[in-house]
Each structure stands twice: as structure tokens, then as C-alpha cells.
Structure 1
Amino acid sequence: MAKLKLQEIERVSTISKQDFLEKYFKKQKPVVIEKLTEDWDAFQKWHLDYIKEIAGDKIVPLYDDRPVTHKDGFNQAHAKMKMSDYIKLLQTKPTNYRIFLYNLMKEVPSLQNDFKWPDIGLKLVKQLPMLFFGGENSKVFMHFDIDYSNILHFHFHGKKQCILFDPRQTPYMYKIPHSLITREDIDFDNPDFKKWPALQYAKGYICNLNHGEVLYMPEGYWHYMKYLTPGFSMSLRAFPSKLSNLAKAAYNVTIMRHFDNLMRKIQGQKWIDNKNKKAIINTHNKLKLH
């Protein structure tokens, strides 16, 4: 069975602001902090039944793992459902439906009282505490974030697996041009190195997040997430610290995504198919793999 070159992400029980900044933020190195949330109300309360109780009547956007087509808008939902029905589905059987980048706290402001903004040296953007939900074995395709944020990713209810790659590994990742994703037909749990030979050279990180633990993902890191059990996560974000990454973020938000949407309208599925082909050609040409 093919295996990616992955090392376990470092873990600390707790951490001071100084240590976090020196050892992880300045070095742009991921870390799992195990006990950062233990004095939060969320640590006791944030389980699926609690969310169902306080937000069950909300209509939520759902995403699955179907490949992108030219008909899809940028981050366009595939379905909608009442939160109570969705959580019942999560608790009943495995499902590919996920909630992605959802500002539930805007809909249910009382959730904002359940957590504290961590004081570990990141200037966190207060408007953007986003929530993510998934069923057992549902997957979030390999991607990096459009805004190149530094991310604190908190997990609640169960267990979630995270695979990360430093941006310097991008030449091996089969990145789709004019997008934030890799080829969607790559199985990062069991990659086919005959089909995707460049992945043999990629060096990444892996961790399993348990209830209440937080993963620090440095700016621009590739990430692939798999829900080992039904659960949900919250991301807090800080703007990129490097000027080069700020410039990339600005380009992605103001130009890249609009250009991509325009080309989907003009060329249709041909645009998507050509991008998928170029991901292979570009990767293999850079590495002289044919």
C-alpha cells in the first residue's frame, strides 16, 4: 500500500505566548495544543446534541465530495437542510455531506459566549469564527485557503484526521491552475504513485485531533481533513504575516476567483478539463517526470 511521507505534528499540553511565537509562528511550523480549550464553556457543551438543541431550526448549506464542474459557483453549496435533520443524519450513518465555512455564530449569537479568543500572539480576525461539520469518513479535499491566513483549528465531538503540507511542497501536489485545490481524484489516504509519481517526493505532517484540541496551521499550508467520527470544528484566523502571502491573498480574492468564474461561463466544462490536464503536465514538467 502506497504511503505518503508524513511525520506526526508536534503536540504540547499548553503553551506560552512567547513559546508559540518563537517555536511555531515564526518558524511557520504546525503544532497541536491539547488543553487550550479546557477552561471554555465550549469544552463541556460543544457536542452535536447541544448544537441540535440551540440551532436545530437553522437552514444550513451542505457540501459533498463531487468533483467541481463548470456549473458550480465559487464555494457554492450542493444542498440545504435543517440543522436538526443534518445532525440526526450525522448521528445515524456515515454521510458525505459537510458544512463548510459556516458563520453559525451570526445565526446563534449565544455560541460566542462559549469560547475565549486565545491570547497566544496571533492577531485574530474577530468577525470570522467559522464552523465546519462532517459525518464519519467524510473528507475535505486537499486545498489551501484563499486568504493565506494563519489558522487555529479547534475540533469538537469525536476525532478528525488532518494531513498538512508546507507551501514549499506545492511542486509535488498536482495543483490545479487558477484554483486552490489539487487534482480531486487523488486519494490522499492511499495515493497511487504510478498515477501520481510526484507525490512520492512530498513531505507532510499528520495528526488526529480529539475533542477540544487545536491545530495551528501556518499561512498557505495545504490541508486535507477526514472526519474519523461525526463531529465539528471551529477555525479562528489571523492575516498572513509575510508580505508575499498578503499579495497572493489579495490576488486570489480580487482577481483569480473572478477570472476562474468568468472562464467557466465562457468555456464551460472544457475550462475545468483543461485545468485538470495542466495540473499533471505542469507538475511533471517541473520535476521532469514523463
Structure 2
Amino acid sequence: MKDEFMRLENIPKVKTISKADFVRDYVRPQKPVVIERLIEDWPAYEKWNLQYISDIAGDKEVPLYDDRPISSEFKFNEPHAKMKMREYVDLLKTKPTNYRIFLYHLMKEVPSLQKDFKFPDMGLRFLKQLPMLFFGGENSKVFMHYDIDYANILHFHFHGKKRCILFPPSESKYLYKVPHALISREDIDFTNPDYDKFPALKEATGFVTELKHGETLYMPEGYWHHMTYLTAGFSMSLRATPRTLTNFSKAIYNLVFMRHFDNYMRKLRGQKWIDYKNEQAIRNTHSKNKID
């Protein structure tokens, strides 16, 4: 089945899967899959919803981010606003909002949450760090990007529905990747792309799914992903190390050199550097695809 606007195939869904089958059919060939019942034995499966988070962490001040384009006004990962978790959950319940929480150590702030999950035995070398939580309001979006560490990711969704669009690394040449960054151009609407402005997108082939409460999405290493919260909700990710030396080397390069170079240039040139990179994203993509 194809998506209405882009060349997107539905990600396969399985009720359950053995470790051997998961590794053979998805990890080794690096293909995404949704596992519907992987975490039914977690306390989180029954307990975790927005009201529970409000009750247990309501007094914690949380960093909020909206969908404004990256600019020199804010430092990298600097929040756009802050509020108490209880106030944020009330906002999520009341109306659509662009405010999101990402890469937040809620489990460090509220250690009792650590008892609600476990690392599944799925043949992945998980990084045994506390997982981070991601929250979003209805219709809020996470721009198209891939992760700096090329991790294999198990992404668990709670409360409501979330639409996930994925592209394998092989499609990078069509996605208007911003140089010295891990993102595509932020003005691309991947739910209804402007093919006149971004014609290379017509050649990109990817995957799509809608996650419901308790479902797990496997995202292979280096996969591009774009998320839309169809309803208010939140997710958690567990990360596993890259399986190949090539991707491990790319992760080291990103962490040791690329992000520091980009931060230096942002400080040195400000908005001119960001504008330059966005222009180069179009030039580079059109050059690779011989688009005039």
C-alpha cells in the first residue's frame, strides 16, 4: 500500500516475534518493523498515560520546544519555554500545541519510573543508560532527521497515536540533507511535499506507520525519521550500538568532530551559516540528481 503523497510503504506489523526471527528478518537486513505486544509484561503498559505522568512528576519543571526553524537566536538544544509537567499535561489535554519535550531525563528526575520497564532480550546491544522520554501535543511534528550515534532504536509509544515516516540511509540523496547536520530542510512538509520546490523528493522511497499505545517501532541504524503526534502522547526509546564498523565510525565522526564544528560555525557566523547550509542542501541534492 502506498502513501497518498509520497512513495511510502506500510511498515509491517507483527503481534509478537522471537529474538531469532527479529534478528534474522529485521536487524540483519536493517528493515523496520512494528511489534504490537512486545511490552505487555511491563508495568508501564498498563500504568503509563498522561494523567499518570502528571500525578507522579507534576512538580518537575520541563524544557519545551516548538517547531520554529533552527536559527542563531537559540543555542543548540536550548529550550524555547519551560513549565511544570502538570501544567504541560493540562495543556496537552486541553488543545493542540506545538510544544514538545524531547531528550528529557524524566526517569532520572523520577526514579520510580525505572521500575516500569526492562531491556528486552532481542539480540541488540543496548546502551544501559536511562532512556529518555519524548512528549508532543496533537498535530505537533518532529522534523526529518537521523540520530547522531547511528543507534538501532526500539521506540515505544504510549497514550494516543503517532505517525512515523522513515527513510533508509540509501535515500539520503533525495531528502535535501543539510550539510554539517543531521536534518533535512525544515521547510519540507513530509505529509504533503512541495514537489515544485523539492523535486528530488519524488524519487525517495520510504516507510510509514501509525503507532498506538504499547506498540514498539524498530528503527534500524542511520534511518531518517519524521514524527507527527496525531493525538497528544509520549514515547520512550532504547538505543543499541551500531552493528557495522562503518556506521560506528560515522557515529564517532558526528560526535567528535561534526557537531563541534557546526557549533563553532554557528557561533562565528550566526544566521548566515544556517542560511548557507539550507541553500547548500538544495544545491547539493539537485546536483546529485542532475536537476536544473
**What secondary structure is seen at the aligned counterpart in 2 of 1:86?**
helix
Q: CA separation in 1, counterparts of 2:61 and 2:74?
A: 20
Q: Which of 51, 58, 61 matches 1:59?
A: 61
Match of residue 199 from structure 2? 197
Q: Counterpart of 2:33?
A: 31
What is the aligned counterpart of 1:272 among 265, 271, 274?
274
Q: Measure, in 2, the Cα distance between the counterparts of 1:32 and 1:3.
A: 22
The alignment of Structure 1 onto Structure 2 pairs a total of residues equal to 290
SS at structure 1 position matched to 2:45 = helix
Aligned residue for 1:168, secondary structure, equals: helix
Could you tell me how far apart the structure 2 residues matched to 1:41 and 1:266 are?
Answer: 48
Paired with 1:117 and 1:270, the residues of 2 have a C-alpha distance of 44
1:110 is aligned to: 112
Work out the CA distance in 2 between the residues paired with 1:42 and 1:13: 18
Find out whether 1:136 has 2:138 as its counterpart. Answer: yes
TM-score by length of 1: 0.98
Q: CA deviation at 1:70?
A: 1.9
Counterpart Cα distance in 2 of 1:165 and 1:214 = 17
User: Residue 116 of structure 1: CA displacement?
Assistant: 1.8
* 1:12 alignment partner AA: V
Moved more, 120-129 or 30-39: 120-129
Query: Would you say the 8 A contact 1:65–1:140 is kept in 2?
Result: yes
**Aligned counterpart in structure 2 of residue 83 of structure 1, from 82, 85, 97:** 85
CA distance in 2 between counterparts of 1:215 and 1:147 reads 18
Q: Which residue of 2 aligns with 1:263?
A: 265
Shift of 1:29: 0.3
SS in 2 for 1:285: helix
- The residue that corresponds to 1:225 in the other structure is 227
1:154 maps to which residue? Answer: 156
Q: 1:270 deviation in Å?
A: 0.7
Partners of 1:268 and 1:86 in 2: CA distance: 31
Native 8 Å contact 1:2 1:192 kept in 2 = no
Q: Within 1, Cα distance between the matches of 2:166 and 2:199?
A: 19
CA shift digits 1:253-289 (9 cap, x unpaired)? 1111111111111111110001000000000000000
User: Which blocks of at least 5 consecutive residues in structure 2 are unaligned?
Assistant: none
Name the residue aligned to 2:45: 43
Paired residue for 1:187? 189
1:71 Cα deviation after fit: 3.0
Of 227-236 and 241-250, more deviation after overlay is shown by 241-250
Letter in 1 for 2:174: Y
Of 90, 96, 99, which aligns to 1:97? 99
Counterparts of 1:164 and 1:2 in 2: how far apart (Å)? 15
Which range is displaced more, 116-125 or 155-164? Answer: 116-125
> Do 1:74 and 1:257's aligned partners in 2 also have CA atoms closer than 8 Å?
no
Corresponding residue SS for 1:199: helix
* 1:126 shift after superposition: 1.5
TM-score, length basis structure 2? 0.98
Shift of residue 128, structure 1, vs aligned partner: 3.5
SS in 2 for 1:207: strand
Computed over aligned residues only, the root mean square deviation of the Cα atoms, in angstroms, reads 1.0
**Mapped partners of 1:6, 1:19: distance in 2:** 24
Contact 1:71/1:264 (<8 A) preserved: no
Report if aligned partners of 1:154, 1:215 keep a CA contact under 8 Å in 2: yes
1:250 aligns with 2:252: yes
Q: Which one of 2, 15, 18 corresponds to residue 13 of structure 1? A: 15
